Amino acid sequence: MKIVVIQGPNLNMLGVRDQSVYGPMRLEQIHLQMKDFATQSGVDIEFYQSNLEGEIVDKIQECYGDAHGIIINPAAYSHTSIAIRDAISAVNLPTIEVHISNIYRREEFRQKSMTAPACTSSIIGFGPFGYHLAMVGMIQILSEIKAMHDAQQGAVEA
């Protein structure tokens, strides 16, 4: 089982950028915690961060046939990117959108996510802990998909 974590623009500045909104943790620390949990859970994990919309689209497309699920924080692109939304829809993989801050308590232009409707689920406003919740959720989703697939295979063989 492989999960790809895709981080959008300015997330490489976590721990520096507006700590009152995003907290003091750096992206590397969040990824280290996710990696530890993935290892404990027997899951392969890959991390990717880009400030460029097209590179994020490319990475999502690379997940097709290579990954079982995506955890994504499109950051500011959540509110503007039809291209990222279309890429998520195109690969048709379980995808969980994460936002560190509660976008519904922020400026009006941040309260609408264009990418969320293409995702399986969203985790919003839990700070960096939201990534852990996304990992737990993704592992559960992938386990359910595997169980359903195994049951269908058993029915075919019977």
Task: Name the residue ranges covered by the structural domains of the chain.
Answer: 2-157
Quick one: pLDDT at residue 64? 98
pLDDT tens digits in sequence order for the chain, 158 residues long = 999 999 999 999 999 988 888 889 999 999 999 999 999 999 999 999 999 999 999 999 999 999 999 999 999 999 999 999 999 999 999 999 999 999 888 888 778 899 999 999 999 999 999 999 999 999 999 999 999 999 988 877 76
pTM above 0.85, yes or no: yes
Quick one: pLDDT at residue 20? 85
2-157 is classed in which CATH architecture?
3-Layer(aba) Sandwich (3.40)
- Are the C-beta atoms of 89 and 97 separated by less than 8 Å? no
Which of the residues are catalytic? 22, 99
- C-alpha–C-alpha distance, residues 152 and 157, integer Å: 9
End-to-end CA distance of the chain: 27
Quick one: pLDDT at residue 21? 87
Quick one: pLDDT at residue 129? 96
